[in-house]
Amino acid sequence: MAVQAPKKRLDARAIRADFPIFEQLIHGQPLAFLDSAASSQKPRQMLEEMTEFYSTSYANVHRGVYVLAERATAALEGAREKVRALVNAPDVREIIFVRNATEAINLVAYSWGLNNLGPGDLVVVTELEHHSNFVPWQYIAGRTGAKLAMIPLTDEGELDLSGLDAIAAQGQIKVVATNQVSNSLGTINPVEKLVAWAHDQGAIFVCDAAQSAPHMTVDVQALGADFVAISAHKMCGPSGVGALWGRTELLRAMEPFLLGGHMINSVRLEKTTWGELPHKFEAGTAPMAEAVGFGAAIDYLQAIGFDAIEAYEHELAAYALGRLGELDGLTLYGPPADRRAGIVSFNVEGVHPHDVAQILDMQGVAIRAGHHCCQPLMQKLGVAATNRASFYLYTVREEIDQLVEGLHTVRKVFA
């Protein structure tokens, strides 16, 4: 019998020391940063690599023949290769740099959707989608005469797949677009199953991996999806850059999304022709330093290991659900800990989520309050908003304890 190597456990306290943001007090308290699902904090290693790029290698890319332009181009293309390796894409030209996951999904919705959807067609999303994977599809469906259909949720906040046949009977499914991990409830969705179903219907599958790629291995080949969208800022990278992965044959057949410099092959008065992948989809000056930072963030996360990150966050979710469960008058949303990522949504009875978040802030605890860009989900839950605490590789249990202490104070203030 093969002996399994012991799994590497993550040392959150050592990792935390890499993040300068934690060196300060907030309202005189240690910072309990529980809003990583909105955007993660940044390690020194990533910040230093961006500074190094700006200090030693900065120039516009692709256009110059001088040393700095060549260095900058190599840095940008090196970062693209890191993204390719991160998601195990078969070809580096399938990695398109975009501003964020939202832009990645809009690119697909506009460039693929406008030319491939029409009356009688269905676009299938879920009640669990972030607006970024809902509004573009709703809009493009409206523009093309296609219909939008929703996969509903169970009471535990998981996708209810029992009605898939009924959805398929409503029209010709052309697109299935879902997230892999819900930003509101932390639900881990059965994406492989949905990819297989989408392909059985002759549809493409668009995976919103904004909340999964920072926390677990996302392998586009294993997943079998057709497009995958990610944002760097949620995974220790800078804001302003993300990536779309798409299958070569689909990307090649698509019209460009943004038009202008760099994305062309030739421009004549009569006609402009498009450049090759990935440039066809990268009009204008690239997010060069941001891409370098993205690459550095990927190096950082990979050195720690996605298996270790995922396992650690499961532990944190279980711990948080246990501790929050001790509080009276608290409603918890979403599935049990073993079926969710490091995100916990809740409401305190009789207290508006914004008031909860404000009182917590006075105690150094940063959580999110609102609809989390998931209004269809809030409608389903029958609430206008929730509080959300979300964790990452630098989160320590003391921060969750600080949250629970803070919630006791909320209860006292509003008693």
Ligand X SMILES: Cc1ncc(COP(=O)(O)O)c(C=O)c1O
**Mind telling me the catalytic residues?**
373
Amino acid at 24: Q
Q: Looking at 40, 100, 201, 402, which residue binds ligand X (CB under 6 A)? A: 100
Bridge pairing between strands 32-33 and 365-366: parallel
Rounded Cα distance between 73 and 278, Å, is 14
Options 130-138, 168-176, 196-204, 303-311: segment touching ligand X (CB under 6 A): 130-138
- Nearest to ligand X of 238, 256 (CB atom): 238
Under 8 Å CB-to-CB from 352, ≥6 apart: which residues?
A: 369, 385
- What is the smallest separation between the CB atom of 102 and ligand X, expressed in angstroms? 3
Q: Name which of residues 158 to 177 contact ligand X (CB under 6 A).
A: none
Q: Give the DSSP letter of residue 304.
A: H
Q: Looking at 106, 132, 178, 187, which residue binds ligand X (CB under 6 A)? A: 132
Q: Name which of residues 178 to 207 contact ligand X (CB under 6 A).
A: 179, 183
152 neighbors 124 (Cβ within 8 angstroms)? no
Q: Looking at 158, 208, 226, 282, which residue binds ligand X (CB under 6 A)? A: 208
- What is the smallest separation between the CB atom of 357 and ligand X, expressed in angstroms? 17
Amino acid at 88: N
Bridge pairing between strands 147-151 and 204-208: unpaired
Q: Does 36 bind ligand X (CB under 6 A)?
A: no
- What is the smallest separation between the CB atom of 231 and ligand X, expressed in angstroms? 3
Q: Tokens for 389, please give them.
A: 């605490």
- What is the smallest separation between the CB atom of 39 and ligand X, expressed in angstroms? 8
Q: Looking at 42, 80, 82, 130, which residue binds ligand X (CB under 6 A)? A: 130
**Short-list 303, 295, 317, 307, CA closest to 395:** 317
Options 88-96, 129-137, 294-302, 359-367: segment touching ligand X (CB under 6 A): 129-137
**Short-list 63, 95, 59, CA closest to 77:** 95
Rounded Cα distance between 183 and 223, Å, is 20
Phi, psi values for residue 96, rounded to 5°: -105, 125
- What is the smallest separation between the CB atom of 105 and ligand X, expressed in angstroms? 7
Under 8 Å CB-to-CB from 305, ≥6 apart: which residues?
A: 8, 10
Q: Tokens for 282, please give them.
A: 């990268």
- Nearest to ligand X of 258, 264 (CB atom): 258
Q: Tokens for 232, please give them.
A: 């760097």
Q: Looking at 201, 211, 363, 395, which residue binds ligand X (CB under 6 A)? A: 211
Unique residue bearing structure tokens 């992948």:
277
Q: Does 40 bind ligand X (CB under 6 A)?
A: no
31 neighbors 24 (Cβ within 8 angstroms)? yes
Mark residues 213-242: x for contact with ligand X by CB under 6 A, - for none: ------------------x-----------
Options 127-135, 158-166, 291-299, 334-342: segment touching ligand X (CB under 6 A): 127-135
Q: Does 109 bind ligand X (CB under 6 A)?
A: no
Number of amino acids touching ligand X (CB under 6 A): 12
Q: How far is CA 125 from the centre of its chain?
A: 16
In the bound state, the residue with its beta carbon closest to ligand X is 183
- What is the smallest separation between the CB atom of 326 and ligand X, expressed in angstroms? 28
- What is the smallest separation between the CB atom of 115 and ligand X, expressed in angstroms? 23
Rounded Cα distance between 45 and 52, Å, is 10
Q: Does 390 bind ligand X (CB under 6 A)?
A: no
Residues that bind ligand X (CB under 6 A): 100-102, 130, 132-133, 179, 183, 208, 210-211, 231
